[in-house]
Amino acid sequence: VMPHFLRFLAKKPENREKALREFNIEDFLVSQTWHENQIHYQIGIQGSDHYALIDPKTFLLQSLHSSIYRADGTKWKLKVQFSQFKNFQRQKFPQLTEYFLDGKLFKRVSLVKAKKLSRLPIKELKEMAMARVEHHFATWTIDYAR
């Protein structure tokens, strides 16, 4: 539902860096910035259109900012904002994700229900797969030597 936010919860730093690169944030410098009457940590080049803002108190990703270049040379500013964080399985997830294009709301995704996925029934799946495999046993009626 919220792939942009979930990618930043990865344990490996390579996955988090890949998520930043997918949003065109190439430089991983961290600085403090004043944005919308609050102080945030900013990941990305200062003054660039591509950056991520992190809340300094909770270290939660607040928003992602990027630009989409059009064919005529102009650009649209894209902002993905995460809000209304709820606890689930000892982690916080945004209940509301809003996508803004040039400051206008483009899409709103809200998390209604969260549940933990159960493990796959490996034993049952293996038994089903083995039941479908045909077994050819050597018998006197079938001469495999020919």
Into how many domains does the chain fold? 1
In a domain? residue 136: no
In a domain? residue 82: yes
CB atoms within 10 A of CB 65: 22
In a domain? residue 139: no
Provide the domain limits for residue 20: 3-117
Look up the pTM and report it: 0.69
In a domain? residue 129: no
**pLDDT 10s digits, 52-109:** 999 999 888 899 999 988 889 899 999 999 999 888 887 788 888 899 999 899 999 8
In a domain? residue 86: yes
In a domain? residue 140: no
In a domain? residue 122: no
Q: Which long-range contacts (CB under 8 A, 24 or more apart) does 40-45 make?
A: 44/20
